[in-house]
Structure 1
Amino acid sequence: MATVYFYEKPGCINNTRQKKLLAAAGHQVEAKNLLTESWQPESLRLFFGALAVRDWFNVSAPAIKQGEVEPDKLTEHQAIALMLANPLLIHRPLMQVDNSLMVGFDQEAVDNWIGLKEKTDTTDLEICPRSLVQARCGHE
């Protein structure tokens, strides 16, 4: 099994569920605070690989939901600069196993990458449940 360096927002419901799935598969999870990590532009950029810039962003971030940041209109350089200034914008989690990096927690992709014992949690682990509740209640 793998040691997974797991960059999260502490207290995030989905990040907690994601870590439990990794641990249940036998992986050692080393949780790190995404918001206080001392990111360098080059090291943060490596996590995103060939993903489109819009896929680098946490769509639940207040600045995106309020229209202050429009990921589709940003260059890579602008996106990284914004994320360094406001880490809540970063799509979570960021994960590292050895020299292999991943952003987000698509269960099938994670299973293909390092293996998951079970994928019984049918909840969308990419969308913040608090956002869903707020949307249903009309509170944005």
Structure 2
Amino acid sequence: MANVTFYEKPGCGNNTKQKTLLLAAGHNLEAKSLLTETWTPETLRPFFGDLPVNLWFNPSAPKIKSGEVIPDNLSEEKALELMIADPLLIRRPLIYVDGIYRVGFDPEKIDAWIGLNPDNPVTEDLETCPRSHEEKPCSTVK
């Protein structure tokens, strides 16, 4: 059992499913809003580890989908600046456990890290917004 700090977009269906999986595995969960947290480069950067900058971003964010923000063209500093100004750009969830920071919800990686319920294997994509193809996806709602 781990004490998990889980930064989410409140109301996100995938974040709700992810939290349910963590709770079912016996973890203690503290859910926080990714959108209202007061981020700084120092508090946000650790979640991304050694991932390339383009994997820090939520591909369903309106500014990404419109082409206004192109993650492949950004430095770390500029990426953090943009995400702090518009947290919808941040890939979800951000997870913190015992000094370790992670971004995204890859069930195999989460299971290897802190464990998930082996009796309830994950068979669906819990990172891609299922509404991302809609005209007004949920990522536009704050």
**TM-score interval, smaller chain:** over 0.9
How do 1:7-46 residues align onto structure 2 when only pairs under 5 Å count?
7-46=7-46
Whether 2:94 is the aligned partner of 1:58: answer no
Distance 2:61 2:4 in 1: 24
- The AA in structure 1 aligned to 2:37 is E
Flag structure 2 segments of 5+ consecutive residues without an equivalent: 137-142
Relative to the length of structure 1, the TM-score reads 0.93
Show CA shifts across 1:7-31 (max 9, x none): 0000000000000000000001100
Show CA shifts across 1:37-77 (max 9, x none): 01111110011010000000000000000000000000000
Q: 1:121 offset after TM fit, Å?
A: 3.3
Q: 1:98 offset after TM fit, Å?
A: 1.4
Distance 1:111 1:121 in 2: 10
Give the corresponding residue for 2:131.
130
Give the corresponding residue for 2:140.
none
- The AA in structure 1 aligned to 2:69 is V
Q: 1:122 offset after TM fit, Å?
A: 1.4
Which stretches of structure 1, 4 residues or more, deviate above 2 A after TM superposition? 118-121
Relative to the length of structure 2, the TM-score reads 0.92
Distance 1:45 1:101 in 2: 9
Flag structure 1 segments of 5+ consecutive residues without an equivalent: none
Give the corresponding residue for 2:77.
77
Q: How many residues align?
A: 135
Distance 2:69 2:75 in 1: 12
Q: Secondary structure at the match of 2:37?
A: coil
Q: Secondary structure at the match of 1:131?
A: coil
Q: Secondary structure at the match of 2:48?
A: coil
Distance 1:78 1:40 in 2: 12
- The AA in structure 1 aligned to 2:108 is E
Give the corresponding residue for 1:4.
4
